[in-house]
Structure 1
Amino acid sequence: MAKVSSQDLGTEPIGKLLIKQAVPAAIGILVMSLNILVDTIFVGNWIGSTAIAAINVVLPVSFFIAALGMAIGVGGSSIISRALGADNKLKALKTFGNQLSLTFLFTITFAVFGVYFVDTLIPAFGGKGNIFEPAKIYYEIILYGVPVLGFVMLGNNVIRAEGKPKFAMYAMLIPSVGNLVLDYVFINVLDYGMAGAAWATTGSYIVAFLFIFWYFLSVNSELKINLSHFGFNKAIVSEIGSLGFVTLARQAVVSVTFLLVNNALYDFGGETSVTTYAIIGRLSMFALFPVFGITQGFIPIAGFNFGAKKYNRVKEVIYTAIKYATILGTLVFIGLMFFPEVITKWFTTDVHVIRETPSNMRWTFAAVPILALQLIGAAYFQAVGKALPALLLTLTRQAIFFIPLMYILPLYLGEFGIWLSFPIADLLSTLVTAYFLYREVNLNLNSKTTV
C-alpha cells in the first residue's frame, strides 16, 4: 500500500480529497454515535429509564474534562497542519510535544477536582431525586478514565492533521466496539448495573489510548518527537491556547447548556422531560454524523493549503464542503421529521417518554438543513489560525442565542419555549456565520495571490 503523506493535502483534487478525508471521519463518528445510541439503549432496557437520565447528568462534567484534550488537540493540530503545509517540520514536532505536556497537566488536575466536588456537581447538573445515586456511581468511575480520553482526543486530532484519516477512524472505531462488548459483559452478563456501564466506557478509553500510543511509535506517523520537544515553548503554547480555547469554550458551553436545560426541564416536566432531552442529545451526533464528517475532513485541508498559501484551493474546499454537508444535512432532516416515534421506541418502553419525545425531537432538529454553513464557517477560522472570529462564531449558536432564548421563550410558551429555542438559535447563528465567511472570502482570500 502506498505511503500516505501530508503533502497530499496540497496536491490532490479538492472533491476527491474531501471525500477521502471526510468518509473515514464520518464512519468514525457514525460508529462512535452508534456506540452512544446502543449504549443508551442497553442502559435503558437493562437498567431503566432513570439510568439514561443519570448518564445525561454526568455528561457535562466528563465532556468538559475530556474537552481539554480535544481543545489542545484541535488548537495544536491547526498549527501542525499549517506548519506541514509551510514545510516547517520542527515547529510541527515542538507543537505535538507541547500538546502532550499540556494534556497531562490539565486533565489530571481537573479530574482530581471533579472527584473532590462530586456531591456538589451532580445536583448542580440536574442529578436530583431518584437520579442522584445512579449518577454518582457512574460519575466517579467515569472520571478515572477521562484523563485517558483526553489523550485519545488529542491523538485523534493530530493523526488527522497529518493527513491520515483512516488511522483517525480506527482510533474512533476501536473504543466504540470495545464499549459495546464490555457493556454486554458488565451489564447483561455480570449484572453490575450503573457501575458496569461506567467501567465499560472507561475500559474502552484505555483500549483507544493503547492504539494511539502504538500509532505514534510506529512508522505510520511523521511526528517522531524526543524529550526536547516536551519543554514548553511560550509562542507555541500561546497559539495552542488561543486556538484551543475556541474548542474548549464550545465544549464548556455544551456542558453549561446541559446543566441549564436539564434543570429547566426538570422544573417543567420532571424526570420524563430530562430523559427526553437525554434521548435527543444522544441522537444528535448520530443524526448529524455525515455533516460532522465533512467538517472534520475539511479542517486539515483548509489549514494545510492556507499554510502553503494556496488560497484558491482554500476557497474551493469551503464551497465544496458546504455543498456536500448541506445535501447530507437535508437528507438527515427528512428522516428525523418522518420517523421520530420509531426512533424514540429504540431507547425506551416508558409510555410517558414515548408520548413526549417525538414532537420535541422535530423542533430540536428543525434547522438541520442550514446548519452545515454554520459548522463549516466556524471550523474554517479555527483551521487557518484566526482565533477571535472562530471563538465568536463558536459561541453564537448556544451561548449568545440559545441560552437567552431558553430563558425568555418559556415565560410565554412554557416548556415548549425551550424546545423552540433550538431551531431559532441555529437560524440566527447561521446568518451571523454566513456574513463573516462571505466577508473573509471576499476581503482576504480573493485579494491574495495564489500559488
Structure 2
Amino acid sequence: MKTNHSSEFLGTEKISKLLFSFSMPAFIAMLASGIYNIVDTIFIGKGIGTLAVGGVGIVFPIQTLYNAFAQMISIGAASAISRSLGEKKDDCANQVTTNAYILTILISLLLMIISYFFINPILFFFGSNEELLVYAHDYLMISILSIPFNALALLSSAVFRAEGNIKVSMMVVLIGAVFNLALDPLFIFTLNGGIKGAAFATVIAQALASLFALFYIFSHRSIVRFEKKYLIPSLAISRSIISVGFSAFARNGATSLFALITNSTLRTFGGTQSITAFGTVNRIISFFFLPIMGINQGLQPIISYNYGARHSDRIKQALKLALIYTTIIGAIGSLVGILFPTMAIRLFVKDKQLISEATFVLRIQLLFYWTIGLQMVASTFYQSIGRAIPALFLSILRQFIILIPLIFILPRYTSLGINGVWYSFPISDFSAFLISAFVLWQAWHHLHIKNEDK
C-alpha cells in the first residue's frame, strides 16, 4: 500500500502556529455546540415552559453517559492513530480506525436497546420526579434514535483531527450544531412539536453530521482508511483503544454519576426548583467548558504525533500554550459567574424564585472555574501519550474522587442542607487543581527521559 505522510507537518510546523491552527477550528466547533446548548434551552424554556427545561436537565446527564461510551472509543482511537502516524505505521492507523468504527456501532446499538426497554427506570434513577417525567420521557424516547449518529460523528471528528485534518473535523461538529439551531425553532414553534420537536431536531442534525463524515472517509479523502480486512476487531487493538479512552469514559461517566447523585440529593433537599436551577446552570457552564475541550482536542494530535516521533521539546511548548489559553477561558467564566450571574440566568427562565436560586448556584459553581483548564490539559496529556492509569486518575479526580463524596456528605451530615451541594463545587475545583498541577509538574520534569527511553 502506498503510504501517505501528509500528517508530517505535525512534527515540523512551528508549535504556536500549529496549536492555534488546530485549536481555533476545534474552538469554533465547540463554541457552536455550546451556543446550540444555550439557544436550545432558551427555545425550550420560552416555547414550552420551565418544567420542560427541568425535564431536559434530567436527560442531559443520560446523554452525557451515551457520549462517555462514544468518547471512550474516539479518544482512545485518536491517540493511537496520531502515535501510529508519528511512528510512520500507516497500516496500524488504518486498523485502529476500522476497529473503532465497528466498536462504536456495536456499543451504540446496545445502548439504544437498553434505553428503549428501561426508559422510565433510567429516568427515575437519574433523579426525575413525576412532575418532570412526562417531559423527560418524551425527550429521551426520541433522542435514543440519535445515539449511533452522535457516536459516529464524534468518532469521525476525532479520527480526522488525529490525522491532522482539523478543518473537516470542525465541519462534522458544525453541521450538527448549525442544523440543530435551524431545526429547533421550526420543530418547536412552527410545527408545534413541543419537547418531541426539540428531540427530533437533534436526531436529524446528528444524522446529517454522521452521514457527511462517513461519506468523507468512505470516499478515501482522509489519510487513514476504513479497510475490509480489519472488519473483525482485533482484541489487542480494541484493548488498546479502550484502555486509553477509558479515562474519557470515566470523566463523562463520572459526570453522569455526579448528576445522578446531585439530582437525587436536590430532590430530597430542594425539590423541582433546585433540580431545574441545576439543569439551567449546567447548560451555561457547558458554554465555557466546550471551548476548553476544543483547545484540548487541538492539543491531542500534536502531543500524540510528537510523542510517537520523540520530539519532547515540542510537546512542552504545546503544553505551555494550551495551559495559557484554557486558563484565560476559565477566568472569563469565573468573571461572568461573579459579576453577571443574574443576567445569564434571565436568558432561560422567568420565575423570580428560580432566578434567585440559579443565580446563587451559577456564582458558586464558576468561582474557581479558572482552574479547570489545567485539570483538562493534564488529563489530555496522559491520554495523548497512551498512559492509561494517570489519564484515568486525572479524569475522575474532580468529580468522582472529590466532588461526589462532598455532595453526598455535606448536605446530610452538616448543617448546610441544600447549600452543602453548592459549596461542594468550589472545594472540589480548587483541590483537584492543586493535585493535577503537582502531577503535571512531575511529568514535565521527566518528559524528556520518558521519551528517550520509550
Contact 2:29/2:174 (<8 A) preserved: yes
Is 1:402 aligned to 2:403, yes or no? yes
- Per the TM alignment, residue 324 of structure 1 is displaced from its structure 2 partner at its CA by 2.1
Contact 2:23/2:299 (<8 A) preserved: yes
- Per the TM alignment, residue 328 of structure 1 is displaced from its structure 2 partner at its CA by 2.7
AA at the equivalent of 1:345: R
| 2:237 corresponds to | 236
Q: Residue deviations 1:228-265, cap 9 Å, x none? A: 02221122111011012111111111111111111111
| 1:155 corresponds to | 156
- Per the TM alignment, residue 290 of structure 1 is displaced from its structure 2 partner at its CA by 3.4
Is 1:445 aligned to 2:442, yes or no? no
Contact 2:383/2:391 (<8 A) preserved: yes
User: What SS is found at the alignment partner of 1:166?
Assistant: helix
- Per the TM alignment, residue 217 of structure 1 is displaced from its structure 2 partner at its CA by 2.8
Map residues 237-386 of structure 1 onto 2, 5 A cutoff.
237-386=238-387
| 1:131 corresponds to | 132
Evaluate the alpha carbon distance shift between residue 67 and residue 448 of structure 1 in structure 2; reply closer, same or farther with a 3 A threshold.
closer
The answer for unaligned runs of 5 or more in structure 2 is none
| 1:435 corresponds to | 438
- Per the TM alignment, residue 77 of structure 1 is displaced from its structure 2 partner at its CA by 0.7
**Which shifted more, 437-446 or 133-142?**
437-446
Q: How far apart in 2 are the matches of 1:354 and 1:291?
A: 27
Is 1:57 aligned to 2:58, yes or no? yes
Q: Residue deviations 1:317-351, cap 9 Å, x none? A: 11221122212322332223211111101001111
User: What SS is found at the alignment partner of 2:301?
Assistant: helix
| 1:36 corresponds to | 37
- Per the TM alignment, residue 450 of structure 1 is displaced from its structure 2 partner at its CA by 11
AA at the equivalent of 2:64: F
Q: Residue deviations 1:50-102, cap 9 Å, x none? A: 00110111122222223222210110110000000111000000000000111
Q: How far apart in 1 are the matches of 2:208 and 2:234?
A: 31
Q: How far apart in 2 are the matches of 1:225 and 1:102?
A: 13
Evaluate the alpha carbon distance shift between residue 447 and residue 262 of structure 1 in structure 2; reply closer, same or farther with a 3 A threshold.
closer
AA at the equivalent of 2:432: S
| 2:210 corresponds to | 209
**Which shifted more, 59-68 or 407-416?**
59-68
* TM-score, normalised with respect to structure 2: 0.96
**Which shifted more, 86-95 or 155-164?**
155-164
Map residues 407-422 of structure 1 onto 2, 5 A cutoff.
407-410=408-411, 411-412=413-414, 413-422=416-425
Contact 1:46/1:187 (<8 A) preserved: yes
Map residues 9-158 of structure 1 onto 2, 5 A cutoff.
9-158=10-159
Contact 1:174/1:208 (<8 A) preserved: yes
Equivalent pairs, count: 449
Q: How far apart in 1 are the matches of 2:325 and 2:430?
A: 19
- Per the TM alignment, residue 219 of structure 1 is displaced from its structure 2 partner at its CA by 5.1
AA at the equivalent of 1:151: L
Q: How far apart in 1 are the matches of 2:255 and 2:450?
A: 36
Contact 1:290/1:329 (<8 A) preserved: no
| 1:425 corresponds to | 428
User: What SS is found at the alignment partner of 1:349?
Assistant: coil
User: What SS is found at the alignment partner of 1:346?
Assistant: coil
- Per the TM alignment, residue 173 of structure 1 is displaced from its structure 2 partner at its CA by 1.0
Q: How far apart in 1 are the matches of 2:373 and 2:64?
A: 23
Contact 1:66/1:107 (<8 A) preserved: no
Q: How far apart in 1 are the matches of 2:310 and 2:18?
A: 18
| 1:179 corresponds to | 180
Q: Residue deviations 1:262-291, cap 9 Å, x none? A: 111122221111111111111112123432
Kindly report structure 1 stretches of 4+ aligned residues shifted beyond 3 Å: 446-451
AA at the equivalent of 2:343: V
**Which shifted more, 303-312 or 284-293?**
284-293
Q: Residue deviations 1:163-202, cap 9 Å, x none? A: 1111111111111111122111111011111111111111
Evaluate the alpha carbon distance shift between residue 426 and residue 4 of structure 1 in structure 2; reply closer, same or farther with a 3 A threshold.
farther
Q: How far apart in 2 are the matches of 1:425 and 1:57?
A: 23
Sequence identity percentage:
33
* TM-score, normalised with respect to structure 1: 0.96
Evaluate the alpha carbon distance shift between residue 289 and residue 125 of structure 1 in structure 2; reply closer, same or farther with a 3 A threshold.
closer
Evaluate the alpha carbon distance shift between residue 97 and residue 4 of structure 1 in structure 2; reply closer, same or farther with a 3 A threshold.
closer
The answer for unaligned runs of 5 or more in structure 1 is none
Q: How far apart in 1 are the matches of 2:168 and 2:46?
A: 33
RMSD: 1.7
AA at the equivalent of 1:268: F
**Which shifted more, 430-439 or 184-193?**
430-439
Contact 1:363/1:420 (<8 A) preserved: yes
AA at the equivalent of 1:441: W
